[in-house]
Structure 1
Amino acid sequence: MSGSLWLKEESAGLDTLPVVPRRRPSWAAADPVDELTTRLQDVIAAAVHPDEIAAILESDGMTDDHIRLTYGREDSFALAEDLYARVERRFPEPDGPPTDPWHTGIGGCLLRGLVFALPGLAYVLGAPLLAGPPGVLGLPVGTVPLLAGAVTGWVWNQALSHRAYSWLGLGDRAAAARTLLRGAPAGALIGALVALAAAAGPGEWGGAVFAAGQAVYLGAATVLLVLDREKALLGALAPLIAGTPAAYWLDLPHPARAALLGTSLALAIALAGRELLPGTVPTGERGRAAPRLTASVPYGLFGLGTGGLVLYAAIGDVVAGGAGASAAGASVAGPTAVALTLSMGPAEWLLHRFRSESLAGLRASTSSRAFRRATAATLALCLTVYLAVLLALAVTGTLLWPGAPDIGGIRLASLLLIGTVLWAALLLQSFGAVLSAAVVCGAAAGAQTVVLVTGSGDPRPAGAAVAGAAAVVLAVLGGVLLGQATAHRT
Structure 2
Amino acid sequence: MSGSLWLTNGTMKDSLPALPRQRGGTAPGAAAGRGPGTAPAPRTAPATALAADPLDELADRLDAFAAVAVHPDEIAAILESDGMTDDHIRLTYGRADSFALAEDLYARTERRHPDPEAPPAGPWHTGLADCLLRGLVFALPGLAYVLGAPLLAAGPGRHGLPPGTVPLFAGAVTGWVWNQALAHRAYTWLGLGDRRAAARALLMGAPAGALAGAAAAAAAARPGEGSAVLFGAGQALYLAAATVLLVLGRERALLCALLPLAGAVPAFRHDLPEPLRLGLLLLSLTATVAFAALVLRPGMARPARGRGGPPLAASLPYGLFGLGSGLLVLYAGPDAVLALTLSMGPAEWLLHRFRGATLARLRLLTTASEFRRAVTATLAGCLGGYLAVLVVLTVTAALLWPGAAAVSAARTGSLLLVGAVLWLGLLLQAFGAVAGAAVVCLLAAATQALAPAAGPVGAGAAAALLGVLTCVLLVRPTAHRF
Which band: TM-score by shorter chain?
Answer: 0.7 to 0.9
8 Å CA contact 1:185–1:219 kept in 2: the answer is yes
Between the aligned partners of 1:177 and 1:257, the Cα distance in structure 2 is 33
Between the aligned partners of 2:279 and 2:90, the Cα distance in structure 1 is 74
Deviation at 1:346, TM superposition (A): 0.4
The alignment status of 1:137 with 2:156, answered yes or no, reads no
| Aligned position for 1:378 | 378
Deviation at 1:206, TM superposition (A): 2.2
1:175-324 equivalences under 5 Å are 175-199=197-221, 201-241=222-262, 243-277=263-297, 285-314=304-333
Between the aligned partners of 1:352 and 1:59, the Cα distance in structure 2 is 29
SS of 1:167's equivalent? helix
Between the aligned partners of 1:393 and 1:58, the Cα distance in structure 2 is 49
8 Å CA contact 2:177–2:322 kept in 1: the answer is yes
Which has the higher mean CA deviation after the structures are superposed, 190-199 or 244-253? 244-253
- Per the alignment, do residues 283 and 149 of structure 1 end up closer, same or farther by CA in structure 2, a change over 3 Å counting? same
Q: Of residues 125, 132, 137 in structure 2, which corresponds to 1:110? A: 132
**C-alpha distance after superposition, 1:131-163 (max 9, x if no partner):** 634422211121111111001000000110111
Deviation at 1:69, TM superposition (A): 3.2
| Aligned position for 1:64 | 86
8 Å CA contact 2:136–2:345 kept in 1: the answer is yes
8 Å CA contact 1:298–1:438 kept in 2: the answer is yes
| Aligned position for 2:168 | 146
Normalised TM-score (structure 2)? 0.86
The alignment status of 1:397 with 2:397, answered yes or no, reads yes
Between the aligned partners of 1:444 and 1:377, the Cα distance in structure 2 is 26
8 Å CA contact 2:153–2:224 kept in 1: the answer is no
Between the aligned partners of 2:439 and 2:466, the Cα distance in structure 1 is 10
Between the aligned partners of 2:384 and 2:253, the Cα distance in structure 1 is 32
Structure 2 letter corresponding to 1:128: P
| Aligned position for 1:124 | 146
8 Å CA contact 1:195–1:212 kept in 2: the answer is yes
Identity %: 66
Deviation at 1:68, TM superposition (A): 2.9
| Aligned position for 1:487 | 479
Between the aligned partners of 1:131 and 1:248, the Cα distance in structure 2 is 20
**C-alpha distance after superposition, 1:433-454 (max 9, x if no partner):** 0111111111111222222xxx
- Per the alignment, do residues 239 and 100 of structure 1 end up closer, same or farther by CA in structure 2, a change over 3 Å counting? closer
How many residues are paired up? Answer: 436
The alignment status of 1:155 with 2:155, answered yes or no, reads no
SS of 2:432's equivalent? coil
**C-alpha distance after superposition, 1:64-107 (max 9, x if no partner):** 3332333232222121111111123232458xx45669971111
SS of 2:163's equivalent? coil
| Aligned position for 1:37 | 59
Deviation at 1:59, TM superposition (A): 2.5
Normalised TM-score (structure 1)? 0.85
| Aligned position for 1:465 | 457
Deviation at 1:227, TM superposition (A): 0.9
Between the aligned partners of 2:245 and 2:305, the Cα distance in structure 1 is 24
Between the aligned partners of 2:268 and 2:419, the Cα distance in structure 1 is 29
Structure 2 letter corresponding to 1:246: P
| Aligned position for 2:346 | 346
Between the aligned partners of 1:249 and 1:477, the Cα distance in structure 2 is 46
**C-alpha distance after superposition, 1:14-62 (max 9, x if no partner):** xxxxxxxxxx977654222211111111221221111111122223332
Structure 1 letter corresponding to 2:374: A
Between the aligned partners of 1:64 and 1:449, the Cα distance in structure 2 is 52
**C-alpha distance after superposition, 1:174-228 (max 9, x if no partner):** 11111111100000001100110011x2233222221111001001101111111
SS of 1:474's equivalent? helix
SS of 1:203's equivalent? coil
8 Å CA contact 2:114–2:364 kept in 1: the answer is no
SS of 2:92's equivalent? helix
SS of 1:202's equivalent? coil
Between the aligned partners of 1:195 and 1:181, the Cα distance in structure 2 is 22
Between the aligned partners of 1:375 and 1:434, the Cα distance in structure 2 is 20
Between the aligned partners of 2:178 and 2:226, the Cα distance in structure 1 is 23
Structure 2 letter corresponding to 1:85: A
1:318-337 equivalences under 5 Å are 334-337=334-337
8 Å CA contact 1:173–1:282 kept in 2: the answer is no
**C-alpha distance after superposition, 1:261-289 (max 9, x if no partner):** 111111111111111235x8887644333
SS of 2:224's equivalent? helix
Structure 2 letter corresponding to 1:360: A
The alignment status of 1:80 with 2:102, answered yes or no, reads yes
Between the aligned partners of 1:301 and 1:26, the Cα distance in structure 2 is 69
Between the aligned partners of 2:277 and 2:242, the Cα distance in structure 1 is 21
Which has the higher mean CA deviation after the structures are superposed, 173-182 or 442-451? 442-451
8 Å CA contact 2:67–2:109 kept in 1: the answer is yes
For the aligned residues, what is the CA RMSD?
2.1
- Per the alignment, do residues 25 and 299 of structure 1 end up closer, same or farther by CA in structure 2, a change over 3 Å counting? farther
SS of 2:281's equivalent? helix
- Per the alignment, do residues 89 and 136 of structure 1 end up closer, same or farther by CA in structure 2, a change over 3 Å counting? same
SS of 1:403's equivalent? coil
- Per the alignment, do residues 436 and 231 of structure 1 end up closer, same or farther by CA in structure 2, a change over 3 Å counting? same
SS of 2:276's equivalent? helix
Structure 2 letter corresponding to 1:235: C
Between the aligned partners of 2:305 and 2:130, the Cα distance in structure 1 is 33
5+ unaligned residues in a row in structure 1: which ranges?
A: 1-23, 315-333, 452-458
Between the aligned partners of 1:344 and 1:108, the Cα distance in structure 2 is 12
8 Å CA contact 1:174–1:283 kept in 2: the answer is no
